[in-house]
Structure 1
């Protein structure tokens, strides 16, 4: 059985991290969500602080910032894995990215660390529309992105969290890779249209050229490294390689994944896109 000593959540305030934290606590597990702002802190750029964040823990859920696609991510995951083994952790669950060569390198690095591992491989979250950079655009009535007719099987962050918690809190998930998606694939335009119908107001989708997208980000003073990452996600990764629906949620949890329409209804009811917020 897995020990009930603390489970570290690297990125404990992120979309999936805070959900993993809440679910583990509901299950009765002690947790230690860590980030740059916590004590002990965890900063991917300051590996000298990782040991104190991991001390006394039994397992870890790991999300990498800003993305496993960036240079050096695989090396950081390898070092964290070695440290976790030295600290006596029993397993690591890693949130990885579909169709990203850098993420694949990080996955291989984790597998060699000597710990039980579980990889949850995902791409675009439903919650990108309500808890991230697209939320303000929806409220404003126009979503403008360099994404055309390529379909994406958006996955719910709640499903990702439940898969991660199953791997952390129960047996049978060691050394498994779960590639998780929603049950159907949509274009960004179709996703925006579903939100528009649910809200009962017009929300326009505009396809931008890559050049116009970059210019808009530069005008908003987005850092160059983030611009480069977003360009990669919208051009290289969003090229159809991830359009296929997978059965990872069913495999891990024994139930189908949440549908995008269910997410939209729940988010709308919560006031996520309220004009009065």
Structure 2
């Protein structure tokens, strides 16, 4: 098998690539561009880990899926998002393309990544000592990217996951204040969580260079947490791997907070 890993240097992609043999990493660093078919290099690919690194107005994954299948790929694993199977979601077209591809497929719906605190959009706030988000007292069953990668690798390399949609969460919902306190204790630093107005968050994100449309999408998703949505526990990790998901405490303890 030759497994192509899109986003192969990202939070989940690099972890997936470490877990499978004959991984071919597709990333901007080696010239891959999801919007440029001339960069795809699909010859010999038998399975693909699919990631859309940048949500676009015009979906790009459907064409890539069609080309990959035409080139010989026989197994697809899509990193998607909760509720992406509903019309209007930015990843709806990608999910439909995967489901209708005619080959084996698995779809992953992870909740918010635990690694957002360490190597994602919230890492700067953790380093600065104040994490400002419009999430109120919302609670989230953060899922460890290591678990996501374990599920993806299993789906890419074994025959037991065809047609499955795995909802992936951690084992319990954690409030942002509690999450920050756990990280503060692990690092020995003072770190605060600050609830902010969604519009203030949008302005902050655009100042960091985030496109305003993306900032508004993120603000809306975080504001949903304030209202209590997104806290449900799911059994996708256990169904796929026959073990419980890693806890947020395990994530904190296993992270190098430099």
Q: Shared fold (TM-score greater than 0.5)?
A: yes
Does residue 1:145 correspond to 2:141, yes or no? Answer: no
Which residue, 237, 253, 258 being the options, matches 1:265?
A: 253
1:214-233 to structure 2, matched below 5 A, reads 214-233=202-221
CA RMSD of aligned residues (A): 1.8
Classify 1:88/1:258 alpha carbon distance in 2 versus 1 (closer, same or farther; 3 Å). same
Per the TM alignment, residue 94 of structure 1 is displaced from its structure 2 partner at its CA by 0.4
**Residue of structure 1 equivalent to 2:35:** 45
1:236-251 to structure 2, matched below 5 A, reads 239-251=227-239
Does residue 1:95 correspond to 2:95, yes or no? Answer: no
Per the TM alignment, residue 61 of structure 1 is displaced from its structure 2 partner at its CA by 0.5
1:68-83 to structure 2, matched below 5 A, reads 70-73=56-59, 76-83=60-67
Which residue, 154, 165, 170 being the options, matches 1:177?
A: 165
Classify 1:222/1:78 alpha carbon distance in 2 versus 1 (closer, same or farther; 3 Å). closer
Which residue, 25, 34, 43 being the options, matches 2:26?
A: 34
In structure 2, C-alpha distance between the alignment counterparts of 1:218 and 1:19, rounded to whole Å: 29
Per the TM alignment, residue 21 of structure 1 is displaced from its structure 2 partner at its CA by 0.4
Q: Is the 8 A contact 2:5 2:48 kept in 1?
A: yes
In structure 1, C-alpha distance between the alignment counterparts of 2:102 and 2:222, rounded to whole Å: 35
SS where residue 78 of structure 2 aligns?
Answer: strand
In structure 1, C-alpha distance between the alignment counterparts of 2:33 and 2:57, rounded to whole Å: 16
SS where residue 12 of structure 2 aligns?
Answer: helix
Which residue, 4, 12, 18 being the options, matches 1:16?
A: 12
Q: Is the 8 A contact 2:135 2:225 kept in 1?
A: no
In structure 1, C-alpha distance between the alignment counterparts of 2:81 and 2:251, rounded to whole Å: 21
SS where residue 102 of structure 1 aligns?
Answer: coil
1:92-137 CA distances to partner (integer Å, 9 max, x unpaired)?
A: 1000111343334431221011111011111211111001222222
In structure 2, C-alpha distance between the alignment counterparts of 1:195 and 1:237, rounded to whole Å: 20
Classify 1:265/1:37 alpha carbon distance in 2 versus 1 (closer, same or farther; 3 Å). same
Q: Is the 8 A contact 2:112 2:143 kept in 1?
A: yes
Q: Is the 8 A contact 1:99 1:237 kept in 2?
A: no
Query: TM-score, structure 1 length as denominator?
Result: 0.85
Runs of 5+ unmatched residues, structure 1: none
Q: Is the 8 A contact 1:96 1:121 kept in 2?
A: yes
Structure 1 residue ranges, 4+ long, deviating more than 4 angstroms after superposition: 236-239
1:190-209 to structure 2, matched below 5 A, reads 190-209=178-197
Classify 1:193/1:118 alpha carbon distance in 2 versus 1 (closer, same or farther; 3 Å). same
1:189-217 CA distances to partner (integer Å, 9 max, x unpaired)?
A: 22112212222332111101012112222
